[in-house]
A and B are shown apart, each in its own frame.
Chain A
Amino acid sequence: MEYAVETFSLTKIFSDWWGRAKVYAVDDLNLQVRYNEVFGLLGPNGSGKTTTLKLLLGLLYPTKGRSVVFGGDGADPKISARIGFLPEESYLYRYLNARETLDFYGRLFGLRAKVRKMRIEALLDMVGLKAVANRAVGTYSKGMARRIGLAQALINDPDLLVLDEPTTGLDPIGTRQIKDLILMLAQRGKTILLCSHLLADVEDVCDRIAILYGGRIQTQGRVRDLLQQTSKKQITTDAISDSAIEKIKQVIEDEDADCVVTSPMDKLETFFIKTVAAAQQQAQPTSGAVSTTRIGGFLAPQAPVESILDKLASAPISRDTSLETPATEQVVPAESSEPKPDEQLLSELTEPAEPLGTKPVVKDEKVKTEPVEPQGSGQEQIKKSILDQLTGHRRPQNADSEQTDKSQAGDSGDA
């Protein structure tokens, strides 16, 4: 099993009732998605992105060819237990409230009641719907429904996340949150297959992309390779004196090259989030979703070093205490209390040297903003997921090494 998802000459022809008027929705598609990679399917409307996903998940049957997910059929319960799927719109049972919705999906996975309840609370917290969790989802706005849709896709802590237009209908904070989530899940070793026509989003998160048109792959490859202008270089510095700039210009002219000097612009996304965060801190009331950039506990990166003492101290407590994370955190001194969303946002936004946001042109690396990222604070790194302990998910690697592994894997794969 070299690939997490692989298709072999996958073809889907839609015909009318009489079998006429054939439309090649997907035409001879050979797709390879590696383990632990964020793969983007791009294309204009009607290019076969969604159809491809449906074929993978067994919602449609291929006319020709076949697809393999985790070495098996995507519709096989053994395989689909490891998949999270967010369809192009959040198709929810309108009469259930958010909590019941997640509970229903959790039960489909056969999660035990305790695990289910914990994950539901963590996910509701993460998607910022805790305050409206007892309202029927039929009354939700599109963005809120989208958030619940995302939460249901994550309830089984999936190894493969299939996202169909994940950011449509979401406000910029929600969009940013999903992008952060995607990157973080990728760090945890998950594979993510998403399709979208919002190029900016894809560009920010995807390792590799395929561009579809008319059901065929037009081009496929690493985002970096496809976009990098190898004939140009960009240097970003702190604010330096004009004389220093003149010196640099001199050096460049000696190399017989042109150069342009400007101040880098903030992204509108960053600016927007800053504004909303300021409003949130003034606690202005909203009836909508509360935007947080928190990531559900059981999805968060694992502690880098888990001492035996920690395990001994936390394990029985996490079994006995009921599900509120704060309670557990009070009892276990090793764990720091989770920062408030607003503070996180603020600290993140006021960070002077945000590593990549200030380099808008260079696409060597993905734009990352990770409020609860391990580098953020030493204490955060030790934070463990109670759920994972209960469910037996243990990932010995720390987040940093995973990141390294991943980029190595990507490099070798493309070579």
Chain B
Amino acid sequence: MHSIWAVATNTIKQALRMKVAVVFTILLIVMLVVMGVSTTGDGTLKGRLQTFVSYGLSLTSLLLCLLTIIVSIYSVTSDIEQRQIYTVVTKPIRRFQFLLGKLLGVILLDVALLCLFSAIIYTITIYTPEFSNATETERLQADNEFYTARASIMPPEADVTEEVDEAYGQLERSGQLPEDMSRDEIIAELTSRKKLAKRAAAVGYELVWEFDNVKPVGPDESLFIRFKYDVAVTPPDSQVYSRWFAGDYRQIKYGTKIENRIYTFDRKDPVRTFREIEVPADAVAKDGYLAVGFLNDPRFNNTSVIFPLEDGLEVLYKADTFTGNFMRAVLLILFRLIFLACLGILASTFLSFPVAILLCLVLFFTASFSGFVIESFDYLSENIGVFYSYTFKWMIRLLPQFDKFSPAKFLVPARLLEWSLLAECAALMVCIKGLLLLVFALVIFSYREIARIII
């Protein structure tokens, strides 16, 4: 253990004295402060905060990722290339201890820098309202929709299997099946159409979603209906006029006595933009039941309104504080850094500095856009087929999905980052993928010749 620690502290000293870390730190501090002062967002306090947190954390994450890659690779490859390793591995230290020491050093450096930067971001975020001349409404909005951590409930997906089967049967009987598509493709197409139809409201029609297990923190807290409209025909003013209901729908459905108040909202919202409706918590029934209704107002609209499948509608309620959420978001970044440190160490055990850097950067950016990459390859797979799905697909899935665990994705909409998601990220990124890389690195490094000469 003492030798691991010796190597780790030496690595930290190296990163600090070779000024790599110092340059990154100064750069980031300057940028964060400048951003904290200069960001405006969409003009509101909430928008400003969202922009700052989003860009601040993304920038911190990006720069620390690059720093981790550079430091982890440089500290191993330079030891090998400049041969300081000759005097180190001939001391009573196992090869794996040397690598673990390097890894520990890089991770400790990351932890220290991450603490520093997240503290800066947190402080600026918390104190921004005090130094801005925001109105009381804006502050309230920021409190409700930014300085919080809200859990989200999505309406369950409608089961459309039967309808799809029926529609497919009809097409088959009438001989209208498209010839250039396979059966699976037709079914998939029909399924998505039917599902979308369930989330579309024609002019004058109503949509109702029912939720169970809605548990706001207290009776004074508000609920938020977050939605985004899509429309068949964009209206001239790009606005949708609507009436929203929230409350215990069962009272109307079964004609019982109205005990819980049902709230109604008449609204005008732009299309294809996320909007939120604040609903008092007493709209929720005692057993956690809540129904949300949407009426496509026939007086002003003349187009069908569709709520997109993934994020068209959800109900949000406060479940934790902003601070707790922020700390979990920072942990997400840390997991990402640990993974990259393992990757860097692995690359440097068998590659020279420039090659290892290149490899890691490519993998890093691929992982950052993993959703896009996976999607595009899935699309390609229709043409490549079997070969792809059994080889390349798995390799891509081995990459960590940085975009899936992006901190800004949770902090900007003030969405609860659940411990379970954090644990999933830790398990996937650190415990499985990171550890796998590290094991490879240790094996390679233990068996390679340190003083190898290639003639």
Q: Which residues of A contact B (CB under 8 A)?
A: 14-17, 21, 23, 54, 57-61, 74-75, 77-78, 80-81, 83, 85, 87, 89, 91-93, 95-96, 100, 104-105, 107-110, 136, 149, 152, 156
B17 at the interface (CB under 8 A from A): yes
Mask: chain B, 91-112; 1 = CB below 8 Å from A; 0 = not: 1111000000000000000000
Mask: chain B, 397-413; 1 = CB below 8 Å from A; 0 = not: 00000000000000000
Cα distance, A149 to B5, chains bound together (Å): 22
B87 at the interface (CB under 8 A from A): yes
Q: Are B90 and A80 in contact (CB under 8 A)?
A: yes
Chain A minimum-CB-distance residue to B10: A104
Chain A minimum-CB-distance residue to B97: A77
B-chain residues with CB within 8 Å of residue A96 when the two chains form the complex: 10, 13
A-chain residues with CB within 8 Å of residue B89 when the two chains form the complex: 58-59, 75
Q: Are B451 and A15 in contact (CB under 8 A)?
A: no
Chain A minimum-CB-distance residue to B2: A110
The 5 closest A-B pairs by CB, nearest first: A77-B92, A107-B6, A95-B17, A81-B92, A59-B451
* A30, chain B: closest CB distance, angstroms: 22
Q: Are B13 and A110 in contact (CB under 8 A)?
A: no
B174 at the interface (CB under 8 A from A): no
Interface-facing stretch out of B78-86, B113-121, B194-202: B78-86
B-chain residues with CB within 8 Å of residue A23 when the two chains form the complex: 455
Binding site of A, secondary structure by majority: helix, strand, loop or mixed? loop
Q: Are A54 and B451 in contact (CB under 8 A)?
A: yes
* B35, chain A: closest CB distance, angstroms: 32
Complex A-B: 25 CB contacts under 8 Å: A14-B455, A15-B455, A23-B455, A59-B451, A60-B451, A61-B449, A77-B93, A80-B91, A85-B87, A87-B83, A87-B86, A89-B83, A91-B83, A91-B84, A95-B13, A96-B10, A96-B13, A100-B13, A104-B6, A105-B91, A108-B6, A108-B7, A108-B91, A110-B2, A149-B87
A-chain residues with CB within 8 Å of residue B3 when the two chains form the complex: 107-108, 110
Candidates A16, A59, A80, A95; contact of B14 at CB < 8 Å: A95
* A109, chain B: closest CB distance, angstroms: 6
Interface size on B, residues (CB 8 A): 30
Mask: chain B, 1-40; 1 = CB below 8 Å from A; 0 = not: 0110111001001100110000000000000000000000
B181 at the interface (CB under 8 A from A): no
Q: Are A59 and B449 in contact (CB under 8 A)?
A: yes
Candidates B7, B92, B454; contact of A80 at CB < 8 Å: B92
Cα distance, A155 to B14, chains bound together (Å): 22
Candidates B6, B82, B84, B453; contact of A14 at CB < 8 Å: B453
Chain A minimum-CB-distance residue to B451: A59
Number of A-B contacts (CB under 8 A): 87
B257 at the interface (CB under 8 A from A): no
B-chain residues with CB within 8 Å of residue A83 when the two chains form the complex: 90
Cα distance, A96 to B450, chains bound together (Å): 22
Chain A minimum-CB-distance residue to B91: A108
A-chain residues with CB within 8 Å of residue B454 when the two chains form the complex: 14, 16-17
Chain A minimum-CB-distance residue to B452: A60
Cα distance, A360 to B75, chains bound together (Å): 50
A-chain residues with CB within 8 Å of residue B2 when the two chains form the complex: 107-108, 110
> In the complex where A59-B449, A107-B6 touch, is A91 in contact with B92 (Cβ < 8 A)?
no
B-chain residues with CB within 8 Å of residue A136 when the two chains form the complex: 17
Q: Are B450 and A59 in contact (CB under 8 A)?
A: yes
B-chain residues with CB within 8 Å of residue A57 when the two chains form the complex: 90
> In the complex where A78-B92, A95-B17, A152-B87 touch, is A107 in contact with B5 (Cβ < 8 A)?
yes
Mask: chain B, 412-455; 1 = CB below 8 Å from A; 0 = not: 00000000000000000000000000000000000001111111
B190 at the interface (CB under 8 A from A): no
> In the complex where A80-B92, A110-B3 touch, is A16 in contact with B455 (Cβ < 8 A)?
yes
Cα distance, A104 to B6, chains bound together (Å): 6
B-chain residues with CB within 8 Å of residue A108 when the two chains form the complex: 2-3, 6-7, 88, 91-93
B-chain residues with CB within 8 Å of residue A81 when the two chains form the complex: 91-92
Cα distance, A110 to B85, chains bound together (Å): 18
Q: Are B87 and A105 in contact (CB under 8 A)?
A: yes
Chain A minimum-CB-distance residue to B448: A61
Cα distance, A110 to B94, chains bound together (Å): 13
* A15, chain B: closest CB distance, angstroms: 7
* A211, chain B: closest CB distance, angstroms: 23
A-chain residues with CB within 8 Å of residue B94 when the two chains form the complex: 77
B-chain residues with CB within 8 Å of residue A15 when the two chains form the complex: 455
A-chain residues with CB within 8 Å of residue B7 when the two chains form the complex: 108
Chain A minimum-CB-distance residue to B94: A77
Residue among A75, A89, A93, A100 with max Cβ neighbours from chain B (10 Å): A93
